[in-house]
Amino acid sequence: MSFRTRVLLAFAAATLLSLLVLAVGIRQQVTTRVTAQHERRVEALARVAMQDLARENADVSARLHSLVASLADDNRFRLAVQGAPAERAFLLDWAGGAMRVSGLSMLQLQDEAGRILSSGHFRNEYDRLEPRLPLLLASAADRPTVVRVRAPEGPMLVLARVDSTRIGSRALTLVGGITIDQGFLNRFARDSEVTVSLATPDGMVSSDSTPAPDTSLVSAAEQLAYIGSLGDSLQVEPARLVVTHTSGELEALRRDINRWFAVALAAAALAGLALAFWLSAGLSKPLAALARATSSISLEGPDLEIATGRDDEIGTLARRFGAMGRRLRASAAQLLDAERRATRGDMARQVNHDVKNGLIPIRNVVQHLAEVQERDPERLAAVFAERRATLESSIVYLDTLARNYARLTPRIDRRAFDASAVAREAARSASSDGVVVQTRIAGAPATALGDPVVLRRILDNLLRNAIESLPPSGGEVTLEMKLPPAGGVRLIVADTGRGMSDEELARAFDDFHTTKAGGTGLGLSVVRRLAADLQADLRVESAPGRGTTFVIDLPPASNSPA
């Protein structure tokens, strides 16, 4: 993940998280306050509904009282209640007319026995006995009382009151009221969201024909008296005036709040993302330019000025990078000069080393011939003949070496050659030091691509290192040659010497690194360079006390240039 992406994500996360917390917090606060305000409003509406009911109740009383007052001067009514046959029809119709005039929707006139003399809401209910209704209504005093009265087409609920009067010798009661139906309750609602319901033991009537949803708020429930059962078993039961408020408006408000908060959050998030993108781009762009400039720094090339023109930290960093580059270039120049000088000494040591390698077989042969001359002079000629090849080989080696060094830079004579012959000669040459190098080399030629002299130098160095690594008690050095299926030649030089630690192994091919007293530290570094010249793979496996194994994979002859 790029630095820019990380910066972008970090900015975005920080922005969105902050906005989310802010939005959720504000929304919660707003919702809580709106809900509380809504509930207070519903409670206020409920109180108003209760007051309306009380006012209607008092209004019914006032209308009944007015009717009673008007009866005192009505002579026809007096005749009718005294039983005048000619006025019977008038009496039967009286309640209907009085009910309409007084604005009531229920009115019945009863005598002292409870007999209905005239009924307005049920004109033909005359002569029915209902003595308990006036008594129960009187006992309710000013408390709003709902009565379930009979009407021709079914029962109806009435907010009823009772009044009484005396006409001559007759004690009369008037029970009157107004219908409690959907329209009546709807006047109490005063708000389309408010539903006023009257719940009685016999059922419920509501200002709204549709049932209230479960989410409705029940704000108040006023206890009323209810005279429900008809007939002789009239009794007072509890009823409730329930004010509910559908939460539709509140829910709509909440939805609006949520919607606008979501919109605001989305807008802020987009703005935050844009800002984060801009900031990350502003941060990463000079860094990327600095990286590009850094990648083009060359110790050998001309100075590269990293100029940002910025005064901030990025500009300071760029300037410091530039200064660091200049210092590095100066140090590199110094280092290069030192390396050149060291390389000359190294060359001298290598020449010395290579010459010594070429002289050692000659010295051994001469020493051998001297010993033969002293001990058995007669065999001198035979031994000389036997060792002549070694002498000639060493002389050829030294001659070639001399020619190579004469060209200062060794020239690789890349060609197809028999690696097995070079390997056998190197093993034989090394074995003359008193240590027998075990060879596992097939008799058939093994053709590889490269320079046989360079391979000989590689093998001489590796075999000598192997022999020198053996403890005084002796050990074993082997040179094995294999022919990999993929082509080429694999040479393996293994010893049973002391081996190397991981740290030693990591530095084994470094120049001037040696673990031997008096060592030059150039043997394996020369081997590394020569292997590279041959385009051969070189690897080593070693462990302390378990010896060391070098593997050289020479390229196949088919890779030779045409």
Partner 1 sequence: MSPLRNAASLGVFAFSLLACATSAHPNATVAPVASCVIGAAPRNGGDTLSVAVLAPVDWAHVPEPTNAAERLAFAQTYETLIDVDCDGRARPALAASWTLDLTRTRITVSLRKGARFWSGKPVTAGDVLAAWRETGARSMSSARLAREIAGGTTIVDDHTLIVSLPDTAWLVLADRTLAIYEPQSIAGWPEGSGPYRIAERSADLPPGGFMLTPVAPAFDPYLVSRRVPSGDPRDAIDAGSDVLVTDDPVAVSYAIARANLVAVPLPWTRSYALAVPREAPALLQPDSDSAALRVSLARDAVHVEARAAQPPYWWDACSASPDSLPATPTADGRSNRVVFRRDDSVARALAERLVALDPRSVAAGLSADDFARALRDGGDLAYVLDLPRVSLSPCVNVGDLRAAAPWLVSGGADARLLPLIDTRESAIVRRDRVSATVDWRGTLHFSHASSRP
Q: Residues interacting with partner 1, by CB under 8 A?
A: 88-89, 92, 122-126, 128, 150, 152-154, 230-231
- DSSP result, 233-257: G--EEEEEEEEEE-THHHHHHHHHH
- Looking at beta carbons only, is 75 or 124 nearer to partner 1? 124
- Nearest approach in angstroms of CB 31 to partner 1 is 50
Place of tokens 């056998």: 424
- Looking at beta carbons only, is 131 or 556 nearer to partner 1? 131
Place of tokens 């393996």: 492
Neighbours of 409 (CB within 10 A): 7
Interstrand relation of 447-450 and 489-495 (parallel, antiparallel or unpaired): unpaired
Residue 171's DSSP bridge partners are 166
- Nearest approach in angstroms of CB 137 to partner 1 is 20
- Nearest approach in angstroms of CB 229 to partner 1 is 11
203 closest CA partner among 180, 174, 178: 180
- Looking at beta carbons only, is 56 or 125 nearer to partner 1? 125
The count of C-alpha atoms lying within 13 angstroms of the C-alpha of 3, restricted to the half-sphere facing its C-beta, is 10
Cβ 108 vs Cβ 91: under 8 Å: no
Place of tokens 């606008």: 260
- Looking at beta carbons only, is 149 or 500 nearer to partner 1? 149
- Nearest approach in angstroms of CB 127 to partner 1 is 9
- Nearest approach in angstroms of CB 233 to partner 1 is 12
Q: Which residues contact 224 (CB under 8 A, 6 or more apart)?
A: 143, 144, 145, 146, 198, 238, 239, 240, 241
- Cα–Cα distance, 193 to 208 (Å, whole number): 10
- Cα–Cα distance, 322 to 524 (Å, whole number): 38
- Looking at beta carbons only, is 94 or 188 nearer to partner 1? 94
Place of tokens 């989410």: 215
- Looking at beta carbons only, is 153 or 503 nearer to partner 1? 153
Q: What is the biggest distance separating any 2 CA atoms in the chain, rounded to whole angstroms?
A: 190
- Nearest approach in angstroms of CB 94 to partner 1 is 13
- Nearest approach in angstroms of CB 112 to partner 1 is 21
CA distances in angstroms from 154 to 150, 183, 518, listed in the order given:
6, 17, 130
- Looking at beta carbons only, is 98 or 479 nearer to partner 1? 98
**Element counts in the chain: helices (H) and strands (E):** 12, 16
- Nearest approach in angstroms of CB 117 to partner 1 is 12
Q: Which long-range contacts (CB under 8 A, 24 or more apart) does 15-19 make?
A: 15/268, 15/269, 15/272, 15/273, 15/275, 15/276, 16/269, 16/272, 16/273, 19/265, 19/268, 19/269, 19/272
- Looking at beta carbons only, is 89 or 171 nearer to partner 1? 89
- Looking at beta carbons only, is 231 or 445 nearer to partner 1? 231
- Nearest approach in angstroms of CB 182 to partner 1 is 19
